[in-house]
Chains A and B, each alone.
Chain A
Amino acid sequence: MKAWRGAVCSGDAVEEKKMVKSELAVAFPPTFSVSEIKNKQRRHFMFMKLKQEKRKQKMQLRKKRRKEREALGDKAPPKEVPKTIENQRVYDETTVDPEDEEIAFDEGTDEFSAYFNGLTNPKVLITTSDRPRGRTVRFCEQLATVIPNAHVYYRRGLALKRIIPQCVARNFTYLMVINEDRQVPNGMVLCHLPNGPTAHFKVSSVRLRKEMKRRGKNPTEHYPEVILNNFTTRLGHTIGRLFAALFPQEPHFVGRQVATFHNQRDFIFFRFHRYIFKNEKKVGIQELGPRFTLKLRSLQKGTFDSKYGEYEWVMKRHEMEACRRKFQL
């Protein structure tokens, strides 16, 4: 500012501005907005001034509030919680109340009840779209190590509708198809087999085992535990059960492996860790295994049938993504 030619003018302008401000407090003159100044340098200068003043006011307010709080001591009102998207989430009427009987009844009789009552053991068939390339193939192999009792089969251009009856005949409970685009996996179709629901996900941020930093040794054959976080609504509940039924019911605690499906703002993050309890308050986790994110695109009743299937839920971007604070899962 010192080297600036218009120093005198700016001084005047500043004073003008201050007068205008004080007038504003009194009457309604046309407001003087910074964006109307045509000269870029001066406009920038005015804007910086404005910001500085705002910041000063904010600091003063803060100091005042802190003094008040200290003065009150114990009787001070509790600290305000900052707003986050999770706090401000629009209340979803389909949120599951853990004690809801209707939901409990539904879940006792839905497609997963056979699994949850211990009648079936999960057996997963992993395959890809046509002609998979290196990354996808490796991803499928790693998935097969993470999910116990999983088998990878090469697709060979077969139609899914013809594969499904054969799978059912051989007692598979899940069909997982990894779709590939430009040598990278980008979609997953997860189909629960004996007439169960089919979910179609978008897969992103796939990290293979050798790209992981500080990872542990390869996963063993022990059945992992499952953590499902934040599946609150009815839809989320269904998806959560879908994931839970992938893994056998009785995890081997000896193996100390845990697979996590964490839902945050409709993105489901999958991680696979090995944990160790250092003492009763601290646990160390070490990531092994692939990691990826899923985003649900559609849920269809019945096995895979994209033309005539009955869709329970489809992602409609314009309706559902219009509000930033509204989530589906």
Chain B
Amino acid sequence: MQHDDVIWDIIGNTQFCSFKVKTKSQNFCRNEYNITGLCNRSSCPLANSQYATIREEKGQCFLYMKVIERAAFPARMWEKVKLSKNYEKALEQIDENLIYWPRFIRHKCKQRFTKITQYLIRMRKLVLKRQRKLVPLSRKVETRERRKEEKALIAAQLDNAIEKELLERLKQGTYGDIYNFPVHAFDRALEQQDQESESEEEEEEEDDDEDVGQREFVAEEEVEESDLSDFEDMNKLRTSSDEEEQDESSEEEDEEEMEVQTKASRSKGKSPANGSAARKKRAYVEIEYEQETEPASKSRAT
């Protein structure tokens, strides 16, 4: 015979209950058949001979009822009833199974059943939304990559690379007329070029009376397109220096000024990587943009 009061006396207040969890404000019951989860005289599944719970398994809800006649066989003590998936029908099932049972248990069973159905609905909704995929990081791999990144950063020498690239662009004339000083550099570069070409010519021929500027034109015809940009630059800046020295006729000046302007308008911006002005032997992508005024200037040069 089950003496509920005696049992509750023992496990409820005075002695030990292994399912009880004590916190500062409240006592909880860890028994899986407990209907409310609190440790109370009316919610304790051990201290009540007439007891029922709702439990769910894999999305299916069952009503468990305690049959006290089998208290000696705990494995067969609980009877379960499968509840229908329809919420109202399930509530009616609970009512008809727990008819004549105490109001408290009926009420709490229905409350628990409601909560369970609600969280099942939420689970099903979440699955439909975006799932977050957790990718585990391997610590070894991460440290290795971090080290590689540091080494790569040191090898990259970013500041130098950027400065070099900017100076190259300045030399190439992508900035057009914004900056004033490039003249001297190009003068020097030109003179160097001229000396080289002069020495070459001396070895082959002996005609040196041609003007350096005109020799530039001849060289332009022979040179491949990829080197064209450099020579055109040289030409433009050579003439700009010549303007200062006032050696050219005004017509030529005008022509070359036009060239300068078209060249400037052409070089502002970027041209496609397959453009004819792409330089060779560059290890990176140079994207330049060409406008259609270029052929006009070329024809004028030749």
8 Å CB contact of A258 from B145, B166, B171, B272: B166
8 Å CB contact of A280 from B148, B169, B184: B184
Q: Collect the chain B residues with CB atoms within 8 Å of residue A226's CB.
A: 270, 287
| CB-based contact A279/B181 at 8 Å | yes
Chain A residue nearest to B273 in the complex (CB): A107
8 Å CB contact of A264 from B152, B269, B270, B286: B152
Please tell me which stretch of B24-32, B38-46, B78-86, B276-284 contacts chain A, meaning at least 4 of its Cβ atoms lie within 8 angstroms of it: B276-284
Q: Given A157-B130, A227-B165, are A260 and B158 also a contact pair (CB < 8 Å)?
A: yes
Chain A nearest CB, measured from B238 CB (Å): 16
**A-B contacts, CB under 8 A, total:** 140
| CB-based contact A269/B158 at 8 Å | yes
| CB-based contact A232/B284 at 8 Å | yes
Chain A residue nearest to B154 in the complex (CB): A264
Chain A residue nearest to B169 in the complex (CB): A225
Q: From residue 143 to 181 of chain B, which have CB atoms closer than 8 A to chain A?
A: 145-146, 148-149, 151-153, 155-156, 158-159, 161-163, 165-167, 169-171, 175-176, 178-179, 181
Q: Collect the chain A residues with CB atoms within 8 Å of residue B270's CB.
A: 226, 244, 249, 251
Q: Collect the chain A residues with CB atoms within 8 Å of residue B158's CB.
A: 260, 262, 269, 271
Whether A230 sits at the interface, judged by CB under 8 Å, is: yes
| CB-based contact B285/A264 at 8 Å | no
Given contacts A84-B155, A260-B165, A265-B151, 9 further A-B contacts (CB under 8 A): A116-B289, A225-B169, A228-B287, A249-B289, A253-B268, A260-B158, A260-B162, A265-B152, A269-B158
Q: Collect the chain B residues with CB atoms within 8 Å of residue A267's CB.
A: 148-149, 152-153
Q: Collect the chain A residues with CB atoms within 8 Å of residue B289's CB.
A: 116, 118, 249-250
**Interface, chain B (partner A; CB < 8 A):** 129-130, 132, 141, 145-146, 148-149, 151-153, 155-156, 158-159, 161-163, 165-167, 169-171, 175-176, 178-179, 181-182, 184-185, 226, 268-270, 272-274, 278-287, 289
| CB-based contact B149/A251 at 8 Å | no
Question: What are 13 residue pairs bridging A and B, where the CB atoms are less than 8 Å apart in the complex?
Answer: A98-B280, A157-B129, A157-B130, A227-B165, A228-B284, A228-B287, A244-B285, A254-B178, A265-B151, A267-B153, A280-B171, A283-B166, A285-B163
8 Å CB contact of B175 from A117, A253, A262, A281: A253
